[in-house]
Amino acid sequence: MSILEKDLTVKKATREAFGDEIVKLGKENKNIYVIDVDIAKSCKTVNFIKQLPDQHINVGIAEQNAAGLAAGLATTGKIPFVSTYAVFGSLRMLEQIRQEVCYPNLNVKIACSHGGLTPANDGGSHQAIEDMGVLRSVPNMTVIMGADYYSTRKLVEQAAKMYGPVYLRFTRDTVPIIYDENEEFTIGKAKKIKDGSEIAIIANGDTVRLALEATKELEKQGISVKLLDMHTIKPLDREAVVDCLNIGKIITVEDHNILNGLGSAVCEVVAEEGKGKVRRIGVQDQFGQSAPYEKLLELNGITVENIIKTAKELI
């Protein structure tokens, strides 16, 4: 069965994928540590604590201290995963990530739940809309967000095996399971869900399911769509973007500020190549508010309907 034919009613938050995968990885490799900041229940590291207590450290509500501790552990050969909310893992810890993790290029992973608008009713203070953009501008940092439960598990596994700083972003809310359990993913290489000839849609994270639904409808209307899951924002798969320029019309879709996220990264490549058109769908450079997740997406035009409308306008 192709992905386009799959039933997308089965849902699971990608923070659950991290919680399940990190236990598996910790059992396989005793150098893997989890550093918590008193929100293990929300970040889904509770089972890690129960099953691997000797590989767990809780520093309390002290994210900057967690980053410094992770850097120290990394110098001893450990592979620390700092587990927190995306707003804290990208902004409160930024100076420590830059100076103590990325500058010396240490093997630290920042694993963050509550990415984008998915905190929903928690309000704008807890909705990380700028995190991937902030951290993709820091040298040596890899930035990743899986689209569903299974892709996230595979990407967490790869992050643990690669050397260097990695930012992993997860959803608080549930999202549809798109991929099969045995699907393979490579950090830095876009996942081509479908090939097409009239419009290219490049999506990331929890918006891949919206791009997928839009693709189905556009195909029904006779419009040929190329669909990419750009799970790695940095390093961006430049080759995949350049290949889309054979079509010449690209839509990017993301649950992130349209500034400095996926859309900006794609636009940089397109501008350097000197051809093609891009339309960015994402958070419209505004803070979120306390509202249901789907309503917040709608307020920013991150909808199936807007993807379809934008595609038709480009064509």
> What is the C-alpha to C-alpha distance for residues 207 and 62, in angstroms, rounded to an integer?
31
Give the DSSP per-residue string, 50-118: HH-GGGEEE--S-HHHHHHHHHHHHTTT-EEEEEEEHHIIIIITHHHIIIIIITTT---EEEEESBTTT
Both structure tokens of 22: 């990190």
SS3 218: helix
- Give me the sheet containing 109-113, strands edge to edge: 56-58, 32-36, 79-85, 109-113, 166-169, 142-144, 232-234
> What is the C-alpha to C-alpha distance for residues 10 and 1, in angstroms, rounded to an integer?
16
Q: Which entry of 16, 21, 28, 63 is annotated as an active-site residue?
A: 63
Q: Which residues pair with 2 in a beta bridge?
A: none
Both structure tokens of 83: 């587990």
183: annotated active-site residue? no
Residues classed as catalytic = 63
